[in-house]
Amino acid sequence: MSSSSDLWVLDVWKGYRPDEPVLRGVNLSVPAGSLSAVLGLSGCGKTTLLRAIAGFERTQRGRIALGTRTLDDGHICVAPERRGIGYVPQEGALFPNLTVQANIAFGLSRAERRGKIVDELLELVGLARLARRFPHQLSGGEQQRVALARALARRPEVILLDEPFSSLDASLRTAVREEVSALLRRQGATTVLVTHDQEEALSLADSVAVLRDGVIVQQGTPAELYTRPADERLAGFLGSLNLLEANFEDEWAHTVLGRLRLHPDPNRAPNLKRGVVIVRPEQLRVSPGEEPADGLPGTVEQCSYYGHDALLHIRPKEGHGEDTLIARVRGEKALPAGTAVLLTARGSVSAVG
């Protein structure tokens, strides 16, 4: 891999119609050698952002730079073929008239094509025996790996992946996903992965940036995002949750579940007395029975069993809050509806809104 540089996206604006910008000042930094995910619902502008980085769209304002090299600042706009940025679109987009080998060699010079690069890449993605096949003779996962090898062939500084796994079957997706991310890490490639799948973003990326309505609402490590989301919507997008009303006192929140420690957050107003905290389902501990007395008494209303774990919907006993709470328990601890339980919470929580 070539010495990679950081990728910077600074206050980038882009729209197709004058008064409807798709990107409204996007800021994103991708450190060299890291895998960053851009997570967002469809229509939030994530593909536009990726295409602007690749050079297929011009930005209207702002700056995109690779290390010290400006790629696009509204005046200068480096052509896609001169950026040194590899692009893997949805469904691979292999050239249907070329073999696997010719696809991978597409961007190489004549001399490079004669060398070992193509063979090495075929070896790397484990498709050496399919070199002479045509794209339509490959499975979805194989096509995806060829598309990746093709993008890697020119040793680009950055690789862009546009929802690369969404067209794969669920059974295949996890395996291809892990393979690809392991491969990219071995290569030390700087990677931007665009996805709408929060599980994919959290499990693969070093850093996740959440794009909503054309702006990045939060960028951080997967753990930061999950435990300390910027707002309630984002929290809900990243996984199921319970929202509890709370009275704040120093670093503590008083809720129906008792006293819970708050994550340190420098942005929280110190004089805030009341608010809402997020408690993830896996933070709830469920014990059958009505004793001991410290804990929230309730009844299992519904149980969704997934094998490895189960989600319990628990209705608190009268006088202990209104809303149903969701708790995640290990599969073998699943309880039938109607069971009386006691709920306690563990770990720290964060306040929102």
The rounded distance, in Å, linking the Cα atoms of 135 and 95 is 7
To another protein, the closest distance from the beta carbon of 286 in angstroms equals: 38
Query: Minimal distance in Å, beta carbon 170 to another protein?
Result: 13
Shortest distance, CB of residue 37 to another protein, whole angstroms? 20
Which spans in the chain are helix H? 46-54, 100-105, 110-114, 117-124, 140-152, 170-187, 198-204, 222-227, 232-238
Whichever of 57 and 142 has its CB closer to another protein, that residue is 57
CA 3, 47, 212, 236 torsion: positive or negative? negative
Q: How far is the CB of 192 from another protein (least distance, A)?
A: 13
Q: By CB under 8 A, name the binding residues for another protein.
A: 2-3, 51, 54-58, 67-70, 75-87, 89, 93, 95-98, 106-107, 150-151, 153-155, 157, 160
- For another protein, give the closer residue by CB, 142 or 157: 157
107 burial type by CB count under 10 A (0-12 exposed, 13-18 middle, 19+ buried): middle
Please give the sequence-ordered ranges of beta strands (E in DSSP) within the chain, or none if there are none: 7-17, 20-30, 35-39, 61-66, 69-72, 85-88, 158-162, 190-195, 207-212, 215-220, 242-249, 252-255, 258-261, 274-279, 284-288, 296-305, 309-316, 325-330, 340-345, 350-352
User: Toward another protein, which CB reaches closer, 60 or 348?
Assistant: 60
- 3-class SS at 174? helix
CB of 279 to another protein, least distance (A): 37
d(CA 325, CA 304): 13
- CA of residue 180 relative to chain centroid, distance: 15
The nearer residue to another protein, 116 or 308, going by C-beta atoms, is 116
* Contact between residue 129 and residue 97 where contact means Cβ atoms under 8 Å apart: no
Least gap, CB of 40 to another protein (angstroms) = 20
Both structure tokens of 148? 């990746």
Cα angle at 340 between 335 and 345, to 5 degrees? 80
Give whichever of 141 and 156 is closer to another protein, judged by the CB atom.
156
Taking the least distance from each CB to another protein, the nearer of 83 and 212 is 83
State in angstroms the smallest separation of the CB of 194 from another protein. 14
Shortest Cβ 66–another protein spacing (Å): 8
Between 114 and 155, whose beta carbon lies closer to another protein? 155
Amino acid letter, residue 313: H
Select 49 or 153, whichever has its Cβ closest to another protein: 153
